[in-house]
Amino acid sequence: MTNQTTDKVFHAIVHGRVQGVSFRYHTRAAASTLGLNGWVRNLPDGTVEVLAQGDDRDLRDLLRWLKDGPPGSRVDKLDVDWRDPSGSPEPFKIIY
């Protein structure tokens, strides 16, 4: 019996009122709860960038969460690019 991995990766850019509302901290908490690896960071243009790796179902749960965001945020648009996993996954973190 072969052990197939179901790990996938997405890269997302979140547009809207997503900086100054603890978006990164809430994203890290949501991703960690789902057991995902990756990172989140603010970009100079006011968006938030997310790279997440893990089980497809858990990634889709995080995407649903990102579409709403935490209280006080407003997500206007979510750009998502699915990728093949590469490298060693690390626990989800905030990049400063």
Beta-strand runs (E) in the chain: 7-17, 37-42, 48-55, 74-83, 93-94
CA 93, CA 90: separation in Å to the nearest integer?
Answer: 8
CA 6, CA 46: separation in Å to the nearest integer?
Answer: 33
**Residues marked as catalytic:** 24, 42
